[in-house]
Amino acid sequence: AQSVAQPEDQVNVAEGNPLTVKCTYSVSGNPYLFWYVQYPNRGLQFLLKYITGDNLVKGSYGFEAEFNKSQTSFHLKKPSALVSDSALYFCAVRDRGGSGGYNKLIFGAGTRLAVHP
Amino acid sequence: EAQVTQNPRYLITVTGKKLTVTCSQNMNHEYMSWYRQDPGLGLRQIYYSMNVEVTDKGDVPEGYKVSRKEKRNFPLILESPSPNQTSLYFCASADRARDSETQYFGPGTRLLVL
């Protein structure tokens, strides 16, 4: 079965420091990987995706993620955190096994990022 | 502006009182789906639709119904809501029925069933 794990419920970072939010996955075949962010009282916003190509993917708001096939990881990173980055972050993999119309996303449990001034 | 809209955004209801959450997209997308978000569980798919009049169950369909009579609309129906359906609901759409690269999510509907 395909799955996504976000091992940290919460990550605390000081403003200006680099941040990493971890994600590991288990899929058959080549993964389609995504990061979404949910700000308080807001919907789910797309940050970035890995489909194929360069292992380092750049996305919105200065975020990037590194796809590592050998470690089956897709960690989200940012060189310098902002207080406004505080939000709930979800890693997801697209289910390519055929269920959900080949578009179903399997989400991790989410990681709450708290950036302190 | 390309978007997915949901209504209502917040809803408090009582057990057994039928309700409908509407979802509409203006991007002419073929694929639409509903997810529910619960703490510690992430988002789980409830139902999906690959096109008009084509719908199927996701991972947690019990207690829900959907319909897709028009391409742009995909309402979620709770015939007899129960407290375990208290959750945050998201509608999503994608341009192709299969193998879309990106899904777009609505703003969410927070439902409380008393």
CA B45 to chain centre: 9
Instruction: Look at residue A103 in the predicted model and tell me its pLDDT.
Output: 83
Alpha-carbon span A34 to B73, nearest angstrom: 25
Whether A98 shows a pLDDT value over 80: the answer reads: no
* pLDDT tens digits, B13-72: 999 999 999 999 999 999 999 999 999 899 999 999 999 999 999 999 999 999 999 999
User: Does residue B5 belong to the interface with chain A, where contact is any CB pair within 8 Å?
Assistant: no
Which residues on chain B are in Cβ contact (under 8 Å) with A49? Answer: 101-102
Instruction: Look at residue B69 in the predicted model and tell me its pLDDT.
Output: 97
| Beta bridge partners of residue B51, listed in sequence order | B54
User: Does residue A32 belong to the interface with chain B, where contact is any CB pair within 8 Å?
Assistant: yes
Q: How far, CA to CA in Å, does B101 sit from each of A58, A93, B92?
A: 16, 11, 13
Burial B22-34 (b: 16+ CB within 10 A, else e): ebbbeeebbbbbb
Q: Is B61 left (phi over 0), alpha (psi -120 to 50) or beta?
A: alpha
Whether A101 shows a pLDDT value over 70: the answer reads: no
Whether B99 shows a pLDDT value over 90: the answer reads: no
For residue B72, which amino acid is it? R
Q: Are A104 and B56 an interchain contact pair (Cβ–Cβ within 8 Å)?
A: no
